[in-house]
Amino acid sequence: MKYLLLSLLFVLSGQPFSTKEREKIVMSRAALYDKIKGGWAGQLIGVTYAADMKASASLEVRNENTAWSDGYQLASFQNNPELYDDIYIDLTFLEAIREHGTEVTPKKLSEAYLQASYHMDHGCQSARYNLMKGKNPQRAGYWLDNPHADDNDFQSHADFIGLMYPGLPQSAADLSNKVGHLMNYGDGYYGGLYVSTLYSLAFTTNDPKKLVIEALKSVPEKSTFYRCVNYAIEQYRQFPYAWDRALGHFQRKWKNDFGCPDRLIGKEDADAKVNSAYLTLALLYGESDFEKTMQVMRSIRQADCNVATVAGILGVMSGFEKIPAPWKQGIDEIETLPFHHSNLSLAEACDITFREAIKAIEDSKGNTSKDQVTIKLQTPSPARLEKSFEGHYPREVRHLGDTLLADRIDLTFEGIGFVVRGSLPEAESDEVFLAELYMNNKYIEIIEIPLIRNNRRPELVWKFQLPHDTYAVSLRPLKKNSGVDVRLTDLVVYDVTPN
């Protein structure tokens, strides 16, 4: 009983470790490489698990044979290669770093991004369109130019950054700033910054409670992201043995999403702060157990990106060799095979990351020798405060019933901003559908809708920070397009107060 009370007091106190308590850590080069490999392999395992396994509704019952059968991991990798987009998008940036080093400029990163042939969604695709139109790379994720600024794109693609900066979260933040603002801003940027810091600090501790509290210091306390993730931690402290109760309390306060148009029409839960809170809960309730952490994560949010992240972080903590053997089944068959849409394999990603990690340790006044490394630890400090959609609240979601944009379409609303969503069939044509946008009978701009999916933005048109008024929005096609139908699906209206 005494032991239980002491344990409970520790859980409730949430006293974090601090790198200030230790100036340095020493580990062998082999151990460093093993942790890096654990991080990359953990992501691969997490994606496969999230796509295949049925999450248990109760964590009281553990299935000894949960892991997949022989050959499944390899078959998934070869037969469903698009599944691993959370990894091969990271590899796009890693290839740019292999060529230019971590001093790579945002322009070089954006060039690598633009050359990629894979499909993107949310903030990634909006950013790709912005970059194609010549937007400054550090502005491509800005909320006035990207309705998905607060989404979890960067959160899903920041793992590789923390892996290159073991125990060096401030150095990792410099690269996060360059990569993250390509696709997100505000809470969306903080999602990736938080994940990269989690990975960086995972080299220094095996305690998830200490890890999440210390990593959150990278985010400004006045941000909605900080308040959201911190609230999740508070629910864990209140219900340390009941993840479902903590989740219920959390969702009653933070489930609503003011940004992502997809979330507002009920399609996806892509908000970065909410998803970061979910993976925080998974790390806390997983208690450093690899399988249990994946189970909790998939039970909370059935998304492969989140499961990949928590599995990657656990892989760093334990190192590859200590990941339970059933989950490593098939990794040896995969590690030399290149990922889809990339020239890099898992083994090559580990080698590049290890080389950059050694350089980062040396650049940060640590020491390296033939057999070991000494890392001079850094303490996270908060990034500057950014806020997307400030003063904007969803007032109305109006379904437009797949209205064909063949002739003039008029929409009326009252508010300070709007997003018009639409759809059109996939086409391999360089043709661009053109329409004029008028507001209150005043010409605003020409809307360009390329028929090739990779060349267009996810939404047809949007405007924010309008003076509060009643608006008549008119879309007027300039020409018809050879049998391709552009349809309007939804209108999202923003106002100065919540509905």
Does residue 258 have a pLDDT over 50? yes
Q: Which two tokens stand for residue 68?
A: 């997949």
Q: What is the predicted pLDDT for the residue at 71?
A: 87
Average pLDDT value over all residues in the chain: 89
Cβ atoms 244, 250 nearer than 8 A: no
Does residue 127 have a pLDDT over 90? yes
pTM: 0.92
Q: What is the predicted pLDDT for the residue at 7?
A: 38
Query: What is the distance between the alpha carbons of residues 155 and 234, in angstroms, rounded to a whole number?
Result: 22
The length of the chain, given as a count of residues: 499
Q: Domains of the chain, with CATH numbers?
A: 14-376 (1.10.4080.10), 393-495 (2.60.120.260)
pLDDT category, 21, cuts 50, 70, 90?
Answer: low
The residue type of 75 is A
Does residue 2 have a pLDDT over 50? no
Q: What is the predicted pLDDT for the residue at 481?
A: 62
Q: Quick: pLDDT tens for 98-115.
A: 999 999 999 999 999 999
Residue found by looking up tokens 């009252």 in the block: 414
Does residue 12 have a pLDDT over 50? no
Q: Give 435-466 as a 3 state SS string.
A: EEEEECCEEEEEEEEECCHHHCCCCCEEECCC
In this prediction, residues 232-242 reach a mean pLDDT of: 97
**Bridge-partner residues for 193, per DSSP?**
none
Q: Quick: pLDDT tens for 167-205.
A: 999 999 999 999 999 999 999 999 999 999 999 999 999
> Torsions phi, psi of 489, nearest 5?
-110, -40
Cβ atoms 160, 181 nearer than 8 A: no
pLDDT category, 430, cuts 50, 70, 90?
Answer: confident
Cβ atoms 492, 418 nearer than 8 A: yes
Range with lowest mean pLDDT among 52-61, 189-198, 247-256, 409-418: 52-61
> Torsions phi, psi of 231, nearest 5?
-65, -40
- Dihedral sign, Cα of residue 136, residue 425, residue 397, residue 150: negative
HSE-CB for 34 with a 13 A CA cutoff: 13
Does residue 53 have a pLDDT over 80? no
